[in-house]
Structure 1
Amino acid sequence: MFLRGYLRASTKEQDAQRARADLERFAADRGISVAAWYVENESGTKLARPELFRLLSDCRPGDRLLVEQVDRLSRLKDDDWKRLRAELAAKDVRVVALDLPTSWQLAAPSDEFTARMFSAINDMMLDVLAAVARKDYDDRRRRQTQGIARAQNEGRYKGRPEDKSRNNAIVNMLKSGQSWNEIQAGTGCSRSTLARLARRLKVGAKDGAD
């Protein structure tokens, strides 16, 4: 049995490695070493996460996936969570999470009856915590949307400040004929930002022609 650590943060600005020391301490207290680490900055609402699926690809039957909290593994919608659970089941991989005490027994060898009992309990609790994690995400998004709408109605919402230096650089890259893929790779901007700046550039060119 190998214990494989999975570390995730939602954005590049967040430190995905933040919980590594806690996971290492958890494993050391049980006389286990973490065989490999898989680290990525991706939203937990996305099923397609490269490092998570590299972890699953590396797993052998009976391996354990170690996470700080269940929401590091999933903030998925129900259908996507069921797909991920099916992948875990197909690989015979069990999840051990620091916020799920029923899973801790799975991090150590045990007899067949104990392993089956804790696996059954753990599977049920995993489903509950995954649903709670998704609800928390949906609630926060709803409150954010409501807050923005209220601020807009009161004339207080100005949106995110524009990164003028970055956007000027992108405009210059567009003018020089660089492809959108090259610009995205170089700046990390979104496709919608590129489209908005391209429209702005086209309007500016028309105004200049007049």
Structure 2
Amino acid sequence: MFIRAYLRASTKEQDALRAKAQLEDFAKEKGFPIAAYYVENESGASLKRPELFRLLSDCSPNDTLLIEQVDRLSRLNEADWEALKREIDGRQVRIVALDLPTSHAMLTNSDDPFTGRMFRAINSMMLDMLAAIARKDYEDRRRRQAQGIEKAKATGRYKGRPEDADRNAAITRMLKAKASWNDIVKATGCSRSTLLRLSKRLKESERAA
């Protein structure tokens, strides 16, 4: 059995490695080394997470997917959570989360088949519950954010997200140098919608010159 640790943060500004020491301490306490780390900055509300699926593709039956909290694995809606669970179950991967004590028993093999089945059933139920709570927390935060924006717009106080002037200037220089969009995305981490907006702005300024 290999333990594979998954570390995720939602944005590039957040530190996805923040919980690495906690995972290392937990695995050491249980007497298991961590075979590999899979780190990415992607939303937990999306299934488009290359490192998570690379981890699963690397797994053999009975390997363990170790996470700090269930919400690092999922803030997914119900349909996407069920799809991810099918992938995990199909590969016979065990999920262990530091914030889910019932999952810690997954690191031991019970000689009693009944006890093993009971632990798996309880752990599955608790995973579902915490995944549902994580999704609700995500939706509640999004709703409060939207309400705050609407209120700010109504009072004329909404200015939107401040522009990253230094990054956008660097992107504009790369566009002027005819760098490919793929290379710009890799170098700066910007979205294609930002690239499109800056490309249009550059063309307009060149026409006006």
Q: Summarize deviations over 1:123-180 as a string: whole Å, max 9, x none.
A: 1111111111111111101111110111111111112222223223322332333332
TM-score by length of 1: 0.92
Matched, 1:113 2:122: no
Distance between the aligned counterparts of 1:60 and 1:143, measured in 2? 42
* Structure 1 residue ranges without an equivalent (≥5): none
Deviation at 1:60, TM superposition (A): 1.3
**Cα–Cα, structure 1 residues 202 and 136, in superposed 2: closer, same or farther, change >3 Å?**
same
Distance between the aligned counterparts of 1:152 and 1:48, measured in 2? 32
Give the stretch that moved more between structures: 39-48 or 76-85.
Answer: 39-48
Task: Tell me which amino acid in the other structure corresponds to 1:140.
Answer: R
Deviation at 1:206, TM superposition (A): 3.2
Deviation at 1:76, TM superposition (A): 1.1
Between the two proteins, what is the percent identity of the paired residues?
Answer: 65
Deviation at 1:2, TM superposition (A): 2.1
Distance between the aligned counterparts of 1:192 and 1:147, measured in 2? 24
The answer on whether the counterparts of 1:67 and 1:98 sit within 8 Å (CA) in structure 2 is: yes
SS of 1:45's partner is coil
1:158 is matched with 159
1:177 is matched with 178
Could you list the structure 1 runs, at least 4 aligned residues long, displaced by more than 3 angstroms after superposition.
none
2:146 is matched with 145
Task: Tell me which amino acid in the other structure corresponds to 1:12.
Answer: K
RMSD value, Cα = 1.6
Distance between the aligned counterparts of 2:166 and 2:35, measured in 1? 43
1:203 is matched with 204
The answer on whether the counterparts of 1:3 and 1:107 sit within 8 Å (CA) in structure 2 is: no
Question: Mapping of 1:45-124 within 5 angstroms?
Answer: 45-111=45-111, 112-124=113-125
Deviation at 1:46, TM superposition (A): 1.8
SS of 2:118's partner is helix
TM-score by length of 2: 0.92
Report the number of matched residues.
Answer: 208
Deviation at 1:205, TM superposition (A): 3.0
Give the stretch that moved more between structures: 111-120 or 194-203.
Answer: 194-203
